[in-house]
Amino acid sequence: MSTATLKLYDYPLSGNCFKVRQMLAWLGVAYQAVPVDFFPGREHRSAAFLANVNPLGQLPVIDDDGFVLRDAQAILVYLASRHDAEGRWYPADPKLRGEVAQWLATADEITRTASAARLHDALGYHHLDIDACRAGARAVFRVLDDHLAERATEGLRWLASAPEATIADLACFPYVALAGEGGISLDEFPALRNWVWDFRHLPGFIGMSGIFPAGPA
């Protein structure tokens, strides 16, 4: 287990911050959490945060001995590249890396839609167009569900063509699992529900508010 300590600017209810906490747990990397009052304090939009942490006013951010990196997906790539010597989470094979990158981009679309719907319903961001958020989330969920259903016919469970989950799955997972908090049901996406179930049963899964560890399958 690594003894190096990095700082994670964190908000417990953020699915994007969860991605980083979960990756750090799986990699056994010690870190110091720096709490940010995202809601209701909106500290991430404060002048000090914008000037000193992230000019985009977003979470998460890490500071690894002076190396500051923002964006959840970028942080996952960095952490896996630095700390996963076996290459399980971010495989070295060029085709697999291409697939992972494809789903990391999809994770951004999930954040733009499903996460935004959750912000509207759960955290009072009522200026967001909730109908557009939900429609966009269902569209990207359909892509995920169709892909995972096809994967299942090939004996595969994960987004990339790897035998184990990768950072692609971690990047896409939380706001799918939390979709109900934005008024989006997964009832019409059976393959996606199975994937959420499988992910929650991975050894070492830590969970967060609204997504609880399921234990061994």
Instruction: Give me the pLDDT at residue 46, please.
Output: 79
The structure tokens listed for 145 are 């569900």
Alpha-carbon dihedral 199, 35, 115, 110, rounded to 10 degrees: -60
**DSSP per position, 57-79:** --S-EEEETTEEEE-HHHHHHHH
Summarised one tens digit per residue, pLDDT across range 60-112 is 999 999 999 999 999 999 999 999 999 999 999 999 999 999 999 999 999 99
CA distance 169 to 88: 12
Structure tokens at 166: 């990768």
Residue spans per domain, the chain: 2-83, 94-200
Are β-strands 61-64 and 29-35 bridged in parallel, bridged antiparallel, or unpaired?
A: unpaired
Residue with tokens 């003894």: 3
> 2-83 belongs to which CATH class?
alpha beta
Q: What's the average model confidence in pLDDT over 177-189?
A: 96
Q: With CA atoms as reference, report the closest residue to 137 among 150, 158, 120.
A: 120
Per the rule left: phi > 0, alpha: psi between -120 and 50, beta: everything else, 145 is alpha
Would you state the pLDDT for residue 213? 78
Q: What is the pLDDT of residue 1?
A: 45
Residue 216 has pLDDT above 60, yes or no: no
Whether 2-83 and 94-200 share one fold: the answer is no
Identify the pLDDT of residue 42: 66
**Class of 94-200 in CATH:** mainly alpha
Confidence at residue 58, expressed as pLDDT on a 0 to 100 scale: 84
Bridge partner residues of 68 (DSSP)? 63
Task: Give the mean pLDDT of 114-122.
Answer: 88
pLDDT at res. 43: 62
Q: Read off the pLDDT of residues 130-171 as tens digits, 9 standing for 90 and up.
A: 999 999 999 999 999 999 999 999 999 999 999 999 999 999
